[in-house]
Amino acid sequence: MTGYFALFIFFLWASIIGIALLVINRLIAPKVPDPMEGYTYECGVPLYDKTSHLSLDQKYYLLGLLLVLFDLEAAFVLPWGYIFKTIASINPWFIFSEMFIFLFILILGYIYAWKKGALQWQ
């Protein structure tokens, strides 16, 4: 029961601190909203027309998805390569083929993105 009591104390302190911060913010925050609060601000460049609502081009979203895809590839492949000798004692060909299948699927995704023009900026 000691572990649960410590967890309860932690939850209690986190709740008290969270509520205290909300109350302090309510007491000392300015009551008048800033006139620029709803101002559109995108990509570090302030817009001069307040009524315009520009959206980002689709290629930025696609580039972000590709970045996440290939960052995850590095996050899986690099540790696998580091510990391959220790896990290869189980069945080296099975483990190697599993990583080959993983890389093959990622390469297919890369070829698909290339053919669709996701990597061209014109």
Per-residue pLDDT of the chain (122 residues; tens, 9 = 90+): 677 888 899 999 999 999 999 999 999 987 887 776 666 665 655 555 555 555 667 777 777 888 888 888 888 888 887 787 777 777 778 888 888 898 898 889 888 888 887 777 76
Q: Which of 122, 86, 81, 114 is nearest to 99 (CA)?
A: 81
Q: For the chain, which residues make up each domain, given as ranges?
A: 2-46, 58-116
Backbone angles phi, psi at 41, to 5 degrees: -140, 115
At what angle are helices 92-116 and 58-82 packed, to 10 degrees?
160
pLDDT at residue number 13: 96
pTM, entire model? 0.46
- Amino acid type, 10: F
Whose tokens are 């081009």? That residue is 57
Strand 45-46 relative to strand 41-42, pairing: antiparallel
